[in-house]
């Protein structure tokens, strides 16, 4: 056994020696060094199987491409296309060998070759190294021992080895094969033994190895086996004797000897491994293999055979990563349905940025591994080994693994990918909720369940939702699998488009179907398409069904199956009502399905589902009873339903049935066919005729959707007390006879019923919430009982062209939020009683005979949107125009002063033009306080003074002119004086150097002046100070886990209210950036007018005026809270006057954990300054709590 060395003595020698310019200098140096006595424990050279010094892995070798370079122009074209491409530093062309050498450590070979192909249309071959390691050794010394064992160990670790006695094809020129082996190897391991330098063959190998090392930067790793590095460098001792014997016995040229000496000196000075008299040879070999693995960095993941569409998606994720402070731990989420490519994009990111970290680990398919024997422990062990390089440290149980990982993961800046996570327990065991990692680490999580990302408080801006491939990407990916080229073959184009349409842009489906159809004739393609329409592909279904099986309750699965068969494209609120009546907790259930990527909700609140997920759900139902259609829980397939109804084969298992017959189909069925379906909940029929007694229809029915209902009247014996929704669109109904009590009815839709003349008696529908009678041209009477519907919130009478009047009882509906009368050509007026509709937020009455809107509309405090008398828009904008429409230039507006008095405070601006006014004080005394009053009228002499006095009572600003004598109008200084006093009264008279500064402070200091408001205000003020009124300042909330931020361009932002479990909504802050159309110094009053909150999910529009927003009455805030529930689709609009345009808007929602535990407030130092070309941008900070 070799002499025990201290750790510092076990390091390798790494000397830099100058190459002698002359042979004599080389010999002289060797002799002089030979005279010096060798130190057996040389701290630089000696070692006992230990790595002498850590070697920094060189950059990957150049990319070599094989391409037909037939002319100089082609080569120049390729060069131009690549120079400047990411990672490419230089391009060298070789016409003799048709090779293209691309230099650049970070260049991606696949991307480079793909770009060359797209630019030239020429096929490109990538000439990568065929071998990982080339072994150079003296066979007599080490072949049967050390070299053999090292070669086996390398191979066992998946390292491809070129070993000259096994890899040389018989009959080939050995010298040429060796050169190719060296050139095509990433690393050359040179095993220097005592007689290595006595072999001309070995020295020639070494010369080639060093040549490739110098020219291409290939790695050379010397192993000094029973020799000291100094012996190799200086050719002394027994190693030097062998070399001298070779020189004496061979006829060598002076240059040849000099080259060998130079090669030996350089190789002997490279960091490597020293193995001197080692009895623990296996440990030495293990250390060498570990080091080789580190150099090769075998951690890169295989991405895909055809990485189509990867670049743009990867770029978005990299931007997410780079947008976060580099010294903070960042958790990135990749969320999407199964088979959409989450793992592929995670692999690409892992390969792309992995080398920027000290350590990295990719835990693949956690969901599946977790369920295996000791799966959790094996995952923890893999993470520990890859990040901390401690293979000897064993984990024996999950809890001990948590403790070890918590201590060890904090030691290195790491990149960790947790792939296919599906429960919180996995996150706790492998990441400690993301809290175990060193600053600067990045954790990427792929999941089908968005809730897991929220559990980790992953900011919405750091969640990447995977999208389906577009058509061009889908065609290309499918073509590579089906045709081994980038586009379909001739004769297959239309068939390929049909397959792509069926796949819905899902990469998994495109790959599976493409491989299945490879090299198959057209007739088989047609057969496959027909089969897929009824029987989805098993491989695809198996992958997609994982998400379905992972649902936590039968209720969630039932909701999914109902949506898959009946409710795609329907309004979420309507479906929720129907499913709740079935005993399901549909609000929560649908939210879970959205989070699991099984269901989508669009901007119109409509439910959606990927076609393949829909087919997967239907296949689950088909397998309930493959042959007995009547024993399935849901029936939707045309032929199956026909079979069940015509054969009276229905059973108690059937809960839902849908049948859509062609328009010209004359077939009818007996109602008795439904007799055995006594648990039928959902029934959807289109153009279906039923004969017989309707008593056979299930009394458990919750939803009846019967388009083109054939009867003139609802049957007398149609008893359906449990119905929640009736939808009889395009029906043949004339009258709705006295109905049975429908106490559970919430939705009634009789739209497009051409012959319907009267509505039903609504007293038998006491809980009705939505009444839709759109396009009923014969409807002439609304039953007066409509006034008893105290829960109704929507009435749609659009295009009921025969309707003359509304019953006066309709004005008693205090819960009604939306009333639509557009297209009711014969309705001439709305009564003043409309002011009783306290909840009305939307009135649409355009294209009617109404010529004068009721002035009492202005009393409706909640009215948000109006369309009437040719005016449409926000109520606060429309009201002044409606009032003006009641005047004429010759009318005296004072006659309408009592009318003005009832105007709500939302009237912020009123223009009275071209009128004669006597005694304007009556206007001042009766008007509410608008922000701006513009008088362009004829004033009596004494009235000018009165205008000045009256303005001080009501105005923030005044614009008045007299057609008789402009000189007597109030001057500017007077108006400014009036405004100054008003500002002082409102505690906004801070000292300021300019009107602009005063305005800014007034804008910022609104709302409750609590800690958060103050810090946010300070943030903006500091930003304004820094920018000197030139640049823009934007408030950021991304760093704080209990702040959810949403940003939009322009005056509005749309977002979905996120569910934050265990937390409640405490505060909403709105930050606006706006700019005026003129110099801000001319701003005469606070430009902010109101904020509009539109809840599309609840169909509620709320407007909060400036005084309400800034005062924050508790009742108003509770009203906002009650209208912002999880998953609601919401839009917030900020309304500014005085010609100001909103550039950007941001909404921040702050949550607290419980009534006793509040989360941290946003620090005042959190701000970000943005540069912008606009010099007149300002901010409005609104806060509601």
Rounded Cα gap, residues 181 and 177, in angstroms? 6
> How many helices and strands (H and E) does the chain possess?
37, 44
Q: Distance (Å, rounded) from C-alpha 566 to C-alpha 614? A: 10
| 151: region left, alpha or beta (phi > 0 left; psi from -120 to 50 alpha) | alpha
Closest CA to 90 of 98, 102, 81: 102
Separation CA 109–CA 102 (nearest Å)? 9
Question: What is the distance between the alpha carbons of residues 774 and 788, in angstroms, rounded to a whole number?
Answer: 21
Contact 260, 207 (CB under 8 A): yes
List Cα–Cα distances, 224 to 228, 231, 278, 1056, 1059, in angstroms: 6, 10, 12, 66, 64
β-partners of residue 191 are 223
What is the distance between the alpha carbons of residues 1057 and 1126, in angstroms, rounded to a whole number?
5
Q: Are 589 and 556 in contact (CB under 8 A)?
A: yes
Rounded to the nearest 5°, which phi and psi values hold at 477? -65, -45
The residues that bridge with 48 in the sheet, in sequence order, are 275
- Eight-class DSSP state of 961: E
Q: Which of 1148, 990, 987 is nearest to 1069 (CA)?
A: 1148
Strand (E) positions, 2-129? 48-51, 63-66, 90-94, 99-103, 125-126
Q: How far apart are CA 1054 and CA 1130, in angstroms?
A: 6
CA distances (Å), 894 to each of 884, 887, 899, 911, 926, in order?
13, 11, 9, 14, 10
Check if 205 is active-site: yes
SS3 346: helix
Q: Are 764 and 742 in contact (CB under 8 A)?
A: yes
Q: Report d(CA 932, CA 505) in Å as an integer.
A: 55
User: Which one of 51, 183, 205, 473 is the catalytic residue?
Assistant: 205
Sheet containing strand 90-94, edge to edge, reads: 90-94, 99-103, 63-66, 125-126
25 Cα distance to chain centroid: 67
| Euclidean distance between CA atoms 244 and 264, whole angstroms | 13
Task: Give the Cα separation of 112 and 89 in Å (integer).
Answer: 12
SS3 for 202-231 is: HHHHHHHHHHHHHHHCCEEEEEEECCCHHH
- How far is it, in rounded angstroms, from Cα 325 to Cα 293? 32
Taking the C-alpha atoms of residue 602 and residue 1081, their distance in angstroms, rounded to an integer, is 43
Q: Which DSSP string do the residues of 1129-1176 spell out, in sequence order?
A: EEEEEEEE-TT-EEEEEEEEEEEESSSS-PPPPPPTT--EEE--S-SS
Distances, alpha carbon 618 to alpha carbons 530, 537, 781, in Å? 16, 13, 44
CB 927 within 8 A of CB 908: no
Strand partners, 358: none
Q: Give the β-pairing of 48-51 and 273-275.
A: antiparallel
Q: Mind telling me the catalytic residues?
A: 205
């Amino acid at each position: 056994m070799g002499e025990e060395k201290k750790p510092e003595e076990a390091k390798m020698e790494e000397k830099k020696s100058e190459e002698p310019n002359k042979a004599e200098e080389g010999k002289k140096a060797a002799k002089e060094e030979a005279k010096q006595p060798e130190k057996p424990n040389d701290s630089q050279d000696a070692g006992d199987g230990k790595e002498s010094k850590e070697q920094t892995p060189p950059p990957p070798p150049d990319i070599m491409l094989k391409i037909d370079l037939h002319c100089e122009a082609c080569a120049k074209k390729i060069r131009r296309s690549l120079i400047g491409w990411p990672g490419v530093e230089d391009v060298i062309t070789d016409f003799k060998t048709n090779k293209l050498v691309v230099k650049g450590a970070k260049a991606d070979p696949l991307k480079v070759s793909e770009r060359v192909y797209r630019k030239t249309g020429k096929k490109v071959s990538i000439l990568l190294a065929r071998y990982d390691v080339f072994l150079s050794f003296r066979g007599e010394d080490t072949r049967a021992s050390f070299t053999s064992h090292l070669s086996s160990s390398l191979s066992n670790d998946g390292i491809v080895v070129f070993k000259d006695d096994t890899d040389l094809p018989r009959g080939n020129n050995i010298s040429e094969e060796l050169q190719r082996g060296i050139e095509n190897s990433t690393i050359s391991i040179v095993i220097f033994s005592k007689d290595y330098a006595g072999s001309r063959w070995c020295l020639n190998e070494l010369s080639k190895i060093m040549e490739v090392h110098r020219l291409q930067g290939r790695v050379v790793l010397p192993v000094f086996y029973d020799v000291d590095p100094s012996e190799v460098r200086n050719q002394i001792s027994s190693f030097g004797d062998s070399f001298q014997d070779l020189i004496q016995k061979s006829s060598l040229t002076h240059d040849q000897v000099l080259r060998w000496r130079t090669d030996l000196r350089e190789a002997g000075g490279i960091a490597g491994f020293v193995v001197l008299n080692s009895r623990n040879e296996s440990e030495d070999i293990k250390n060498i293999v570990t080091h080789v693995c580190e150099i090769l960095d075998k951690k890169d993941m295989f991405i895909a055979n055809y990485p189509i569409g990867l670049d743009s998606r990867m770029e978005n994720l990299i931007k997410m990563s780079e947008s976060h402070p580099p010294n903070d731990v960042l958790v990135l989420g990749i969320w999407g349905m199964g088979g959409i490519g989450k793992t592929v994009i995670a692999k690409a990111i892992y390969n792309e940025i992995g080398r920027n970290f000290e350590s990295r680990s990719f835990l693949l398919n956690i969901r599946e591994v977790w369920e295996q024997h000791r799966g959790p422990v094996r995952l923890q062990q893999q993470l520990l080994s890859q990040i901390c390089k401690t293979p000897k440290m064993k984990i024996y149980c999950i809890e001990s693994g948590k403790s070890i990982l918590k201590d060890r993961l904090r030691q290195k800046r790491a990149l960790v990918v947790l792939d296919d996570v599906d429960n919180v327990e996995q996150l706790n065991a492998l990441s400690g909720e993301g809290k175990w990692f060193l600053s600067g680490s990045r954790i990427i999580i792929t999941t089908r369940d968005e809730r897991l990302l929220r559990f980790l408080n992953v900011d919405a801006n750091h969640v990447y939702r995977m999208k389906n491939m577009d058509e061009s990407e889908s065609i290309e990916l499918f073509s590579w699998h089906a045709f081994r080229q980038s586009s379909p073959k001739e004769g297959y184009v239309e068939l390929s488009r049909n397959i792509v349409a069926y796949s819905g842009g899902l990469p998994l489906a495109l790959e599976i179907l493409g491989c299945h159809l490879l090299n198959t004739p057209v007739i088989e393609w047609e057969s496959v398409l027909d089969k897929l329409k009824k029987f989805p592909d098993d491989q695809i279904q198996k992958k997609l069904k994982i998400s379905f099986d992972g649902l936590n309750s039968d209720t969630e699965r039932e909701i999914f199956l109902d949506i898959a068969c009946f409710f795609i494209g329907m309004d979420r609120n309507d479906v929720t009502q129907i499913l709740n009546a079935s005993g399901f907790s549909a609000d929560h259930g649908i939210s879970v399905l959205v989070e699991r990527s099984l269901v989508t909700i669009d901007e119109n609140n409509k439910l959606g589902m990927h076609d393949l997920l829909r087919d997967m759900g239907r296949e689950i139902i088909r397998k309930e009873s493959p042959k007995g259609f009547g024993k399935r829980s849901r029936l939707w397939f045309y032929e199956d339903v026909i079979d069940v109804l015509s054969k009276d084969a229905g059973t108690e298992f059937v809960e839902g049935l849908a049948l859509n017959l062609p328009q010209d189909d004359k077939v009818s069925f007996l109602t008795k066919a439904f007799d055995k379906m006594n648990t039928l909940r959902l029934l959807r029929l289109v153009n279906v005729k039923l004969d017989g007694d309707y008593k056979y229809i299930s009394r458990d029915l919750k939803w009846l959707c019967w388009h083109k209902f054939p009867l003139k009247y609802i049957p007398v014996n149609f008893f359906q007390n449990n119905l929640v929704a009736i939808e009889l669109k395009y029906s043949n109904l004339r009258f709705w006879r006295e109905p049975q009590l429908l106490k559970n009815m919430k939705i009634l839709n009789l739209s497009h019923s051409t012959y319907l003349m009267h509505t039903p008696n609504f007293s038998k529908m006491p809980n009705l919430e939505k009444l839709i009678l759109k396009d009923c041209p014969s409807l002439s009477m609304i039953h007066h009982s409509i006034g008893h519907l105290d829960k109704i919130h929507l009435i749609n009478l659009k295009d009921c062209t025969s309707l003359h009047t509304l019953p006066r009882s309709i004005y008693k509906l205090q819960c009604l939020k939306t009333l639509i009368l557009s297209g009711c050509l014969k309705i001439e007026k709305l009564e003043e009683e409309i002011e009783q509709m306290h909840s009305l937020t939307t009135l649409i009455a355009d294209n009617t005979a109404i010529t004068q809107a009721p002035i009492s509309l202005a009393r409706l405090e909640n009215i948000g949107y109006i369309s009437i008398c040719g005016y449409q828009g926000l109520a606060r904008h429309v009201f002044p125009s409606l009032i003006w429409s009641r005047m004429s230039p010759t009318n005296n507006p004072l006659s309408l002063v009592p009318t003005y008095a009832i105007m709500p405070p939302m009237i912020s601006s009123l223009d009275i033009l071209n009128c004669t006014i006597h005694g304007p004080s009556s206007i001042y005394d009766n008007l509410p306080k608008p922000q701006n009053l513009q008088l362009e009228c004829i004033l009596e002499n004494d009235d000018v003074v009165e205008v000045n006095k009256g303005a001080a009572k009501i105005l923030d600003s005044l614009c008045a002119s007299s057609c008789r004598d402009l000189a007597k109008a109030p001057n500017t200084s007077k108006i400014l004086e009036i405004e100054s006093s008003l500002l002082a009264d409102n505690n906004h008279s801070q000292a300021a150097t300019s009107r602009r500064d005063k305005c800014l402070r007034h804008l910022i200091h609104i709302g409750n002046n609590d800690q958060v408001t103050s810090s946010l205000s300070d943030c903006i003020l500091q930003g304004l100070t820094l920018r000197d009124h030139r640049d823009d300042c934007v408030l950021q909330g991304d760093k704080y886990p209990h702040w959810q931020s949403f940003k939009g361009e322009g005056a509005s932002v749309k977002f979905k209210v996120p569910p934050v479990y265990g937390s409640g909504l405490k505060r909403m802050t709105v930050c606006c950036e706006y700019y005026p159309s003129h110099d801000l110094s001319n701003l005469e009053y606070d430009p902010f007018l109101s904020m509009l909150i539109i809840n599309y999910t609840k169909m509620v529009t709320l407007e909060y005026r400036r005084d309400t927003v800034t005062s924050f009455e508790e009742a108003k805030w509770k009203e906002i809270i009650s209208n912002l529930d999880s998953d609601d689709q919401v839009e917030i609009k900020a309304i500014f006057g005085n010609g100001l345009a909103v550039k950007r808007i941001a909404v921040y929602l702050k949550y607290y954990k419980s009534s006793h535990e509040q989360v941290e407030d946003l620090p005042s130092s959190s701000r970000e300054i943005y540069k912008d070309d606009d010099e007149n941008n300002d901010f409005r900070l609104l806060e509601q709590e």
